[in-house]
Amino acid sequence: MDLLERLEQYRREEQKLAWEGTFGEYFELAVKTPRVAQLSHARVYEMLMAAGAEGPSGGRSYGFFAEELFGVEPALQQLVEYFSSAARRLEVRKRILLLMGPVGGGKSTIVTLLKRGLERWTRAEAGAVYAIAGCPMHEEPLHLIPESLRGEVRAAYGLYVEGELCPVCRSALAERYGGRHEDVRVERVVFAEKSRCGIGTFSPSDPKSQDISELTGSIDLATIGEYGVESDPRAYRFDGELNVANRGLMEFVEMLKCDEKFLYSLLTLSQEQSIKTGRFSMIYADEVIVSHTNETEYAAFVANKRSEALQDRIIVIRVPYNLRVSEEVKIYRKLLSESALKDVHLAPHTLKVASMFAVLSRLEESKKAGVSPLKKMKLYDGEEVDGLSRADARELHEEAAREGMDGISPRYVINRLSNAVVKDDAACVNPIDALRALKDGFEQHTAITREERERLLNLLAEARREYDGIAKREVQKAFVYAYEESAKTLLNNYLDNVEAYCNKTKLRDPITEEEVEPDERLMRAIEEQIGVTETAKKAFREEILIRLSALARRGAAFDYTSHDRLREAIEKKLFADLRDVVKITTSTKTPDAEQLKRINEVVDRLVAEQGYCTGCANELLKYVGTLLSR
């Protein structure tokens, strides 16, 4: 990268965003491109849709959120639908959006995505916003058109104008521009929370000291002496969050924690599209208000009679936790890639096992017979579960009204994983480490009740049992592969013995060159794997020999796949050998050279093909060893 060149380029791009002209010129632009004058909700909606949407209603996914949010499609769909209606200026746009859900369920993330999205969007051509230059609320220049002319403008140009000039612009029009509307300066603005344009945030703090001016601006003590009256706009600072967020979006953090007086400011804004500020008449404002809260606070709010007017003005969107294991894994991947853990090796299945536990903790017990939490979890994740269908999944979810509103949050899981790494200074985290870290976490947590702890411990055990099955299968798979050579050797060895046995000849020991009897023990060890009895062994061996000679006559060799039952026997024999091999690694005895070689082969296979590092591959073998020796 050439920094100087990039800086040059950066300045050129910034320059492109700087447009300035008169209101007359702006009006021409608005006639040509009416979207520049769209209202805030329509702008947000266009931004959302510009990133694309796919899938059927109910499971629609939106490109805008696709990289960042997983498993909360219903909430996102509701959100987009809200903007869709609000964009058409339906009554809903006069309501405040309230995201309601459990801690760490993604509420703030949704709002942040909207805010950052708008910042980017207004820098793009399609999202360009223009404002009266010098207006503290960067207001829509079309406000300059007098009320009495608006009907004609609408009829002639199709431009809808809503809202009145703010006190500052009104006085500027009269004094600075001598009343000539068309001369008023207009400029392009880009939204940025940092420069306090188009994006605002209000967080409740101590209700005693928090002042309404944070929302609606305040008297400018430095200039009030100069202008004498408080109703002179020059003696007022229109710098409250509601002013700043005009034309864009304001986030109202934890809205229901706020003092009522703030809520009433919101009520007028949403109802009348205006802000009551100081000594001024109402000031028009056009902005999206998004807030968030948790279920308990919301319930208290709804129970409070005095809040009825406000309740009526709120649209609640439930944002429950994700309930699909595969989506939960994506959440963790995203969070980990942003954290200090990105350089730590995660053994395969670690995130999946943590996800299983998290999802299990969020599920409600089903009243339906035979539906265990584990089955429900798999069903929700789209797995085949015998006896249950897709329709059952829907029904199960509908029966559990509060599902997803409680349980373990993604944030908790990530914190616990980080903790495990930091505490042990680990280079690698495996599923068992993860489960242990999760457990330590809620054992330390005093806020968790005894029953809840009990429930979580049971779910941990459940996730762990699920993992045990996965671990065993994983090792067996690697084993068969790493032992393909061994399988061949074992097969040839068996065939040589069978041949000698059937022809009543002897074998020559490859090393000592001595003549030896066929190895009955070896043959039986293999045959027993598939239930060939002592009395049936002769027939079985003859059958094999016939197959062998038939192949030989055609010039073909008998291989591992030539006889299905024999192949099965060989594989099972290898698995049985594995037990010993793996057990040995966990025992105090040191493995001999041959065993060591085998272990290394399995480890290599796990590393090369399954994403393990040597550390966690060895851990896996050790773990499966203890499972097998139980």
Ligand X SMILES: Nc1ncnc2c1ncn2[C@@H]1O[C@H](COP(=O)(O)OP(=O)(O)OP(=O)(O)O)[C@@H](O)[C@H]1O
Nearest to 111 by CA among 123, 96, 122: 96
| Residues of span 347-386 touching Zn ion by CB under 5 A | 347
At its nearest, how many Å lie between ligand X and the CB of residue 341? 13
By CB under 5 A, how many residues form the interface with Mg ion? 1
**72 binding partner (options ligand X, Zn ion, Mg ion, none; Cβ < 5 to 8 Å by kind):** ligand X
**Binding track, positions 418-447, relative to Zn ion; x by CB under 5 A:** ----------x-------------------
| Residues of span 511-570 touching ligand X by CB under 6 A | none
**Closer of 107 and 464 to ligand X (Cβ):** 107
**385 binding partner (options Zn ion, Mg ion, ligand X, none; Cβ < 5 to 8 Å by kind):** none
**Closer of 329 and 379 to ligand X (Cβ):** 329
At its nearest, how many Å lie between ligand X and the CB of residue 627? 33
| Residues of span 398-417 touching ligand X by CB under 6 A | 410-411
Residue in 61, 108, 112, 586 binding Mg ion, rule: CB under 5 A: 108
Q: Where are the alpha helices (DSSP H) in 247-312?
A: 260-272, 295-303, 308-311
551 touching Zn ion, by CB under 5 A: no
Contacts of 100 (CB under 8 A, 6+ apart): 107, 292, 293, 294, 295, 298, 316, 317, 318, 319
Residue in 41, 43, 93, 107 binding ligand X, rule: CB under 6 A: 107
**Closer of 286 and 403 to ligand X (Cβ):** 403
CB neighbour class for 64 (10 Å; exposed up to 12, middle 13-18, buried from 19): buried
Q: Within 13 Å of residue 401, how many CA atoms lie on the same side as its CB?
A: 0
Residue in 75, 111, 128, 169 binding Zn ion, rule: CB under 5 A: 169
Residue in 7, 18, 90, 103 binding ligand X, rule: CB under 6 A: 103
At its nearest, how many Å lie between Mg ion and the CB of residue 338? 16
At its nearest, how many Å lie between Mg ion and the CB of residue 288? 18
**Closer of 38 and 409 to ligand X (Cβ):** 409
Contacts of 365 (CB under 8 A, 6+ apart): 373
**Binding window for ligand X (CB under 6 A); candidates: 42-50, 101-109, 235-243, 557-565:** 101-109
CB 404 within 8 A of CB 322: yes
The beta-strand segments (E) located in 227-350 are: 236-237, 249-252, 274-275, 283-284, 288-293, 314-318, 345-346
Element (H, E) at 503: helix 484-503
38 touching ligand X, by CB under 6 A: no
CA pair distance 403, 405, nearest whole angstrom: 6
Q: Spell out the long-range contacts of 615-620 with Cβ–Cβ below 8 A and sequence spacing 24 or more.
A: 615/345, 615/427, 615/428, 616/345, 616/347, 616/348, 616/428, 616/430, 618/585, 619/347, 619/428, 619/430, 619/432, 620/347, 620/430, 620/471, 620/474, 620/475
285 touching Zn ion, by CB under 5 A: no
Residue in 85, 109, 213, 486 binding ligand X, rule: CB under 6 A: 109
Q: What residues does 236 pair with on adjacent strands? A: 219
**106 binding partner (options Mg ion, ligand X, Zn ion, none; Cβ < 5 to 8 Å by kind):** ligand X
Residue in 500, 613, 627, 628 binding Zn ion, rule: CB under 5 A: 613
Residue in 23, 70, 191, 202 binding ligand X, rule: CB under 6 A: 70
**Binding track, positions 101-140, relative to Zn ion; x by CB under 5 A:** ----------------------------------x---x-
- Per-residue buried b or exposed e for 476-502, using 16+ beta carbons within 10 Å of the residue's own CB: bebbbbbbeebbeebbeebbebbbbbb
Q: What is each CA distance from 153 to 70, 79, 143, 159, in whole angstroms?
A: 45, 33, 12, 6
Quickly tell me which residue has 């608006």 as its tokens. 150
Q: Within 13 Å of residue 142, how many CA atoms lie on the same side as its CB?
A: 25
Structure tokens at 112: 């942040």
Structure tokens at 514: 């001595």
**Closer of 237 and 292 to ligand X (Cβ):** 292
Element (H, E) at 62: strand 61-62
Residue in 108, 486, 492, 586 binding ligand X, rule: CB under 6 A: 108
**Residue type present at position 68:** E
341 touching Zn ion, by CB under 5 A: no
**247 binding partner (options Mg ion, ligand X, Zn ion, none; Cβ < 5 to 8 Å by kind):** none
At its nearest, how many Å lie between ligand X and the CB of residue 292? 6
Distance of CA 257 to the CA centre of its chain: 27
| Residues of span 15-74 touching Zn ion by CB under 5 A | none
CB 196 within 8 A of CB 246: no
**Closer of 107 and 439 to ligand X (Cβ):** 107
CA pair distance 439, 550, nearest whole angstrom: 61
**Binding window for Mg ion (CB under 5 A); candidates: 105-113, 477-485, 549-557, 592-600:** 105-113
Residue in 335, 336, 426, 507 binding ligand X, rule: CB under 6 A: 335
By CB under 6 A, how many residues form the interface with ligand X? 20
Binding site for Mg ion (CB under 5 A): 108
